[in-house]
């Protein structure tokens, strides 16, 4: 699985945020409440970049329509809970002095969004 470095480990402190364009996807890496998260930088509702949203205690809220997504489960809140597809989250991978994600071959061969 190809590894994509997104940040240096010495950058990872609360408040760190960065968007990264990868071959098939844009991702948003951030540190929130001491935890590193990597998510797809796209609201499943209307494709608005979530990097422009608001971080809340356990979720990120899209700026366009106010939909919140749980950072642990990816589920939408409120009336959207059962209707929206989950927020795509990625496992954080540490290699040497970098943090990033590893994308499997199936993902890399999906058609671009």
Q: pLDDT for 56-69, tens place per residue?
A: 999 999 999 899 99
What long-range pairs does 83-91 form, CB within 8 A, spacing at least 24? 84/44, 84/45, 85/44, 86/44, 87/39, 87/40, 87/43, 87/44, 87/50, 87/60, 88/39, 88/40, 88/42, 88/44, 89/37, 89/38, 89/39, 89/40, 90/27, 90/38, 90/39, 90/40, 91/38
Work out the average pLDDT over 82-97. Answer: 90
Q: pLDDT for 12-48, tens place per residue?
A: 999 999 999 998 899 999 999 999 999 999 998 889 9
Residue 37 and residue 90 in contact, taking contact as beta carbons nearer than 8 Å: no
pLDDT exceeds 70 at position 76:
yes
pLDDT exceeds 80 at position 80:
no
């Amino acid at each position: 699985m190809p590894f994509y470095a997104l940040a240096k480990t010495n950058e990872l402190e609360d408040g760190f945020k960065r968007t990264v364009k990868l071959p098939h996807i844009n991702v948003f890496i951030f540190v929130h409440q001491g935890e590193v998260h990597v998510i797809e930088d796209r609201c499943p509702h209307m494709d608005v970049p979530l990097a422009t949203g608001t971080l809340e205690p356990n979720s990120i809220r899209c700026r366009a329509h106010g939909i919140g997504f749980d950072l642990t489960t990816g589920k939408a809140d409120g009336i959207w809970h059962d209707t929206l597809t989950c927020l795509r989250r990625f496992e954080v991978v540490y290699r040497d002095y970098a943090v990033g994600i590893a994308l499997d071959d199936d993902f890399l061969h999906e058609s671009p969004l």
